[in-house]
Structure 1
Amino acid sequence: MSSVLYVCVRPERSAADAEHRSFRRGLGVATLDRIDLLHASLETVEWQRYEGFVVGGSPFNVTDTDKSEYQRAVEHDLERIAARALDDAATALFTCYGIGVVTRMLGGDVHTGQPELAGATTVHLTAAGAADALFGPSAPQLSVFTAHKEAALDTPPGAVLLATNDACTVQAYRVGDRLYATQFHPEASPQDFADRMAVYRASGYFDPTAYQQTERAVLAATVQGDELLARFPLLLGD
C-alpha cells in the first residue's frame, strides 16, 4: 500500500482522473492510492493506515447555501482527515476547496470577497513560511496556479500563515506540525491547468468569452508548485 492517499472531491471524472495523475507526478511516486469521496466514504478503505493525505480541489464551495447530502458527507470526511493530522497521526495537505473546509472546522471565517480568476499568481512566503519544512526551500516566493470563488478571511484559530499575496490574504497556512492548507493548486502544470479549464469553462472561474486568451496565458506560465509537492513525502513518518 502507498503511504499517501489522494482524496478526490471532484464530480467530473475527467478532471478527477487528471488531478490524480498531477498529484502522482508532483509527489514523484510510481503509484498513488485514491478515494473518490463522492462515490465512497472513508470507511470503504483502511484510511487510518495512511501516513499522508493530499486533498484535491472541487467546484463545491464551503459557503454554498444549498448543499446536497453528498457535499455534506464529503465535508464530514474531510474534517475527519484534518482531525487525524491535528492529532499528529498523519500529515495532510488540503488544496483550494479544502482550505475552506479546514478553516470552517477550526472556527475561522470563509468569505467570497477575495476570488481569483484562473491563472498563475505569485505568493509570498511569510517568515513562518520561510522557516517551514514544506514551504521554506521555495522562499521568498512561489509561482502557482489558482482559481477560486471563496477564501479564508484570516488565518483560523491555531493556524500559522505561510503564504499570502495582495489578491488573497490567506494563500497557505499550517496548523500544528502536520496539517497544511493552500488556496492554490500546487499539483497543476500549465497543461494540466489548461485541460482543467476546458472542463470548467462555464463554471465562473474565468470569462468564457476570453477562453483562448486565458488558455494561452496559462500555457505560457512558469509555475513551481511541483517543487513544493515533491517535498511532501519527506514529511511523512518524521
Structure 2
Amino acid sequence: MKPFLILQLRPETPVSDDEFEAFVKHGGLGPTEVVRLRMDQLELPAINLDDYSGVIVGGGPDDASNPMEKKSNQQRSYEPWLYRLLDEIIERDFPYFGCCYGLGALNLHQGGVVSKEKYAEPVQGIDVALTEEGKEDPLLAGLPETFRALVGHKEACQNIAPGAVLLGRGEDCPVQMVRFKQNIYAVQFHPESTPANFVLRINVYKHAGYFPPDDAERLIDEVQKEEITVPGEILRRFVERYRRG
C-alpha cells in the first residue's frame, strides 16, 4: 500500500504531534500508510508523487497571505518547496487534501485572493452547508447537508481561484470547502480535529493572535460542548477513495 504524505508546519511539537495523530486516527490510516514531514524542521527532500497515494497538508500559525517581510523564517524556507509540489499536484490532478493553511496556499497558488480583509473566524464551532455541487461530490454525497465543524483562522479566501468548485460554505466565512479538477480538495475547517484537539491548540496559541488571551477559558468551555463527527468522515472518505497499492 502506498502511503499518504502528511505535511505539517506547526513548530510547537506537542500540537504537531497531536495533529499528526488526529490525521492518522480520523483518516483511518495504519502505521505503514503514512509518511510524516514537518516542513518547519526538515531540509525538505525531493518528492516523487508516484510513491504516494495522496498528499495531506495541515494548518498552523503561518498565514499563506503574509507579505514576505512578515513570514517566519520557516515559512520562507518551506513555502517555495511546497509551491513547487503544488505545481505538480495541479498538473497531474493528484489527490490532495489541504486544511486551513493548506486551503489558503492552494487558493493563492491558483490565483485566488487570500487575505485578512474579511471572513476571519475566531476559534469556535460553525455550521458548514453543502452547495448543490457539494451534495453530488464523491467525498460528500449522502452526508448531512449542514454539519458542525471547528474553525479558527486569521486569514480567509476572499474568493476562489478560477476553475475551483465551491462545495461547502459558512455564514461568516463563505469558502469552507473547494475542489480543483477532480481530485484536489481543500477545507477551511479542521477535519482531523475534535474538541479535545482544539483545547490543546487554544492553550498553546492563546498569544498567537487568534483571540484575546483572556477569552481562552470561555472558548474552551464552548468548544467542549461541540459534537463533531462529519468532518472526520470526510477525511476518512478521502483516504478510502485514494488509497492505492
Q: Give the shorter-chain TM-score range.
A: over 0.9
Q: Choose which of 171, 195, 207 in structure 2 pairs with 1:202.
A: 207
Match for 1:170: what amino acid? V
Deviation at 1:87, TM superposition (A): 2.9
2:25 aligned partner, one-letter code: R
Q: State the distance in 2 between where 1:48 and 1:202 align.
A: 40
Residue 107 of structure 1: aligned partner: 111
Count of residues in Structure 1 that have an aligned counterpart in Structure 2: 238
| SS of residue paired to 2:148 | strand
Residue 135 of structure 1: how far off its partner (Å): 2.2
Deviates more, 1:34-43 or 1:146-155: 34-43
* Pick aligned residue for 2:191 from 186, 189, 196: 186
Q: What corresponds to 2:99 in structure 1?
A: 95
Deviates most, 12-21 or 227-236? 227-236
Secondary structure of the 1:177 match is coil
Q: Is the 8 A contact 1:129 1:139 kept in 2?
A: no
Paired amino acid for 1:37: M
The match for 1:232 among 224, 232, 238 is 238
* Structure 1 Cα separation of the partners of residues 189 and 81 of structure 2: 21
Question: Following TM superposition, by how much is the alpha carbon of 1:237 offset from its aligned partner in structure 2, in angstroms?
Answer: 5.8
Q: Deviations over 1:57-85 (max 9, x none)?
A: 01001222222443133222322333333
Whichever residue aligns with residue 16 of structure 1, its letter is S
Q: CA RMSD in A?
A: 1.8
TM-aligned CA distance change 1:237 to 1:19, over 3 Å:
closer
Unaligned regions of 5+ residues in structure 2, if any?
Answer: none
Percent identity over paired residues: 31
Letter in 1 for 2:200: D
- For the pair 1:63 / 2:52, whether they are aligned, the reply is no
Once the two structures are superposed, the pairs formed by residues 93-172 of structure 1 within 5 Å of their partners are 93-112=97-116, 113-172=118-177
The corresponding residue for 1:211 is 216
- Structure 1 stretch displaced more, 201-210 or 216-225: 201-210
Matches within 5 A, 1:76-91: 76-88=80-92, 90-91=94-95
Residue 114 of structure 1 and its aligned partner are, at CA, apart by 1.0
